[in-house]
Structure 1
């Protein structure tokens, strides 16, 4: 048992692995010193992409968890890998790492040795494993692959069997999934930090007319289930886009569609991609929500509703904007879970 141990991290999107790391530290020491990377430090990581939380949000998550555990602890903001570890009066005896952060501990000990300080004993905390047998990391959460408990947003079973919509879900999806933009303008589609995706021929054509280039477009050459277009150029595409053809029958979510959007979403926003559906694209919003990184946006067309269905007594139509958030991913997962596996 140590009197004091130290460890550091970004603690972004505080997850089960972070909890296990803190509990490990508490189990081996009377006091723990937790270094949390500053906004300056994180800005260097942000250059590689990703939707990072601010320092105060990350600090509060660690603080709230430690308060429930009851040990003595100190939280320090760090601008580099060293934090307080090179201070002559820093009296920790050990540093806690995982197999993925061993290099940082070696750098710290090398610097301490050069400064005439005793090396810190290195303690390795086991990685926390997610549903798919891979470690739970903040990067995987930011990329939209898993939630904070390590659960996959795209259930592996959905990659094997076709899912059929139920009447209950169909009624639910008649209402806009996100924010309805009744009179969309170019600024409504700008300043998206993540991937911008568009579903539907008319909405995609409209974005292209504004010189907005969705990184991912899902189309089926139909409007209101009737064929209207015959070529991608009709929608404003140049032919330089990467084209993926997918079969997806009306009222279904096919394994082929899940696989296609999963693959394309991992490629980021540099290459413009088009998914051309043989069947119907109406439900493609859901797999996109589940596959895209946090901070992305999905836009789709909302057709006019019957006046009797409208809240204000008139048809409502426009483009719906859905932010790819943890909350919306959870909702999308719940919706697909209520689809039938066989038949309607």
Structure 2
């Protein structure tokens, strides 16, 4: 069982539905506004970036969308048949739903620090990973995640976004200092 550092309390779920940045339905428009590197959280977001010809520096996927398996076209484009064709590296991590594990956080930090493009394939759920990704990403980088039924949320990793992500993480159950230590470069 992976070491769970934070878990999402029921009372915070509603607040996490509010997007942390502008929502885009046009991938080209998002890419025009995004800073580099881009950290993508979610299979559909990653798929749209790849289809637009942009491989994110880091992508976190769980082969699911809206609690259902992604379709074969998305799966093949993102994770491939025998590996991740668009990414230099592929790392498997465990992260149960509504948690952040030490394994995911450590892999995220290493992937952000790497010069290689990295696909983190999550056994469990990657939904909460956008929050530590905002903390781990370099200044002015972009974190992109999906807003179900609406589009892609673009978050610029700046002090304001980091403060908001930290505030949400502080209200989760567990060891916030361990999360902060795990994602700092």
Q: TM-score, normalised by structure 1?
A: 0.46
**Count of aligned residue pairs for this structure pair:** 168
2:128 equivalent in structure 1: 283
Q: How does 1:57-68 map to 2 (within 5 A)?
A: none
Q: Is it true that 1:174 corresponds to 2:13 in the alignment?
A: no
Give, in whole Å, the separation in 1 of the partners of 2:60 and 2:87: 16
Q: How does 1:1-344 map to 2 (within 5 A)?
A: 161-181=4-24, 183-190=25-32, 192-229=34-71, 233-235=76-78, 237-238=84-85, 240-267=87-114, 270-304=115-149, 317-341=150-174
Give, in whole Å, the separation in 1 of the partners of 2:143 and 2:19: 12
Aligned 8 A contact 1:232 1:239 in 2? no
* Structure with more contact order per residue of length (Cα contacts < 8 Å, sep ≥ 6): 2
Bigger strand fraction = 2
2:178 equivalent in structure 1: none
Residue 226 of structure 1 and its aligned partner are, at CA, apart by 1.4
Give, in whole Å, the separation in 2 of the partners of 1:184 and 1:239: 21
Residue 247 of structure 1 and its aligned partner are, at CA, apart by 0.5
Give, in whole Å, the separation in 1 of the partners of 2:50 and 2:32: 13
Give, in whole Å, the separation in 2 of the partners of 1:319 and 1:333: 21
Give, in whole Å, the separation in 2 of the partners of 1:326 and 1:221: 31
Aligned 8 A contact 1:225 1:280 in 2? no
After superposition, the Cα gap between the structure-2 partners of 1:218 and 1:210, relative to the gap in structure 1 and judged at 3 Å, is same
State the SS of the aligned residue for 1:284. helix
Q: TM-score, normalised by structure 2?
A: 0.82
Q: Which runs of 4+ in 1 moved over 6 A?
A: none
Larger Rg: 1 or 2?
1
Deviations along 1:173-205, whole A, 9 cap, x unmatched? 111111111x31314213644311111111111
Q: Where do 5+ consecutive residues of structure 2 fail to align? A: 176-185
Give, in whole Å, the separation in 2 of the partners of 1:177 and 1:332: 8
After superposition, the Cα gap between the structure-2 partners of 1:174 and 1:187, relative to the gap in structure 1 and judged at 3 Å, is closer
Bigger helix fraction = 2
Give, in whole Å, the separation in 2 of the partners of 1:242 and 1:302: 26
